[in-house]
Amino acid sequence: MTAEVIYGNVLAENLRLEMREEVDALKEQGIIPKLTVILIGDNPASKSYVRGKQKASSFVGVESNLIELPSDATEKYLLELIDTLNKDSQVHGILVQLPLPAQIQEQVIIEAIHPDKDVDGFHPVNIGRMLTGKDTFLPCTPFGIITMLKSKNIEIAGKNAVVIGRSNIVGKPVGQLLLNENATVTYCHSKTKNMEEHIKAADILIVAIGKAHFLKGEDIKPGAVVIDVGINRIEDGSLTGDVDFESAKETASYITPVPKGVGPMTITMLLHNTIKSAKRFHQV
């Protein structure tokens, strides 16, 4: 079996075209969705992701404002800035690019952003809403993954979904979204015993562990759906996923590549959330 490749960049482009039309229609009603991104320090990867967010915002017509702070910015300064943005009625979405420098506590910052402007979907109020299946801003990468599965009409209900990795941004929420879709979800992590057995039993595998080529074709059940969330920069400078794509594609039924897989969907779902926030604020 050779897997069908799910190209996130293609789906992302189609969704962004639809969003552009939606934003045009909002603009005719005098509504301009606005996103403010805060970038602290000069992490090259973060800078590149933020550039991607600005480029995509501009494509769909979302106004984006980038605030850059030095790497020694204080938590107090950032909290004051967030407070100002929370009160600014022109701003529909606030995003603080992660990771943060050591002097700033990530969870303090996440909880300072008003849940109604938390287009990353990281605030505990929005996480709680996601958990209970209520309408909310869903975390962008997990939301992108579910959107990719649905784009191919891949059945989720009743399937064994195995999530490798348990980060707050990807692993935990993607498992919850799969559970909301009625999958039977297993989380695997560094302390999991018999991980191979869990992996072999998976119909849907989400790999978000941050280890280049961790998962090989021989590890997976024939016909499994493999979603690779890894972004690993290897010695030759190229980007590769957590899955050994070449071997896994011979066993899987569907597989996502890296790059051009999940990554572009993350930015697209951020735009979706920003537009949703603007519509909510203006009650349209």
Active-site residue, selected from the candidate residues 53, 159, 249, 276: 53
167 is in an annotated binding site: yes
Looking at residues 40 to 99 of the shown chain, list those that interact with ligand LMY7XDAE (rule: CB under 6 A): 48-49, 52, 95-98
Active-site residue flag, 54: no
Sheet with 34-40, strands from edge to edge, namely 63-69, 34-40, 93-96
Q: How far is CA 220 from CA 155, 158, 166, 201, 217, in A?
A: 18, 18, 20, 8, 6
Cis peptide before 259 (omega within 30 of 0): yes
Q: Is 264 in the site for ligand LMY7XDAE (CB under 6 A)?
A: yes
Active-site residue, selected from the candidate residues 34, 117, 118, 120: 120
Quote the Cα angle for 50-53-59, to 5°: 145
Judged by CB under 6 A, the residue of 267, 271, 275, 278 near ligand LMY7XDAE is 267
**Distance (Å, whole) CA 231 – CA 209:** 9
Active-site residue flag, 97: yes
Looking at residues 171 to 230 of the shown chain, list those that interact with ligand LMY7XDAE (rule: CB under 6 A): none
Q: Is there a contact between 255 and 274 (Cβ–Cβ < 8 Å)? A: no
**Among residues 217 and 261, whose Cβ is nearest to ligand LMY7XDAE?**
261
Q: Is 258 in the site for ligand LMY7XDAE (CB under 6 A)?
A: yes
**Distance (Å, whole) CA 207 – CA 187:** 10
Q: Give 125's contacts (C-beta < 8 A, 6+ positions apart).
A: 115, 118
Q: Interface with ligand LMY7XDAE by CB under 6 A: which range of 111-119, 157-165, 199-207, 260-268?
A: 260-268
166 is in an annotated binding site: yes
**Distance (Å, whole) CA 273 – CA 251:** 35
210 is in an annotated binding site: no
280 is in an annotated binding site: no
DSSP 194: S
Closest distance to ligand LMY7XDAE from the beta carbon of 211 (Å): 16
Closest distance to ligand LMY7XDAE from the beta carbon of 261 (Å): 6
Active-site residue flag, 47: no
DSSP 249: T
**Among residues 26 and 94, whose Cβ is nearest to ligand LMY7XDAE?**
94
Name the site residues for ligand LMY7XDAE (rule: CB under 6 A): 48-49, 52, 95-98, 120, 140-141, 169, 231, 239, 258-261, 263-264, 266-267
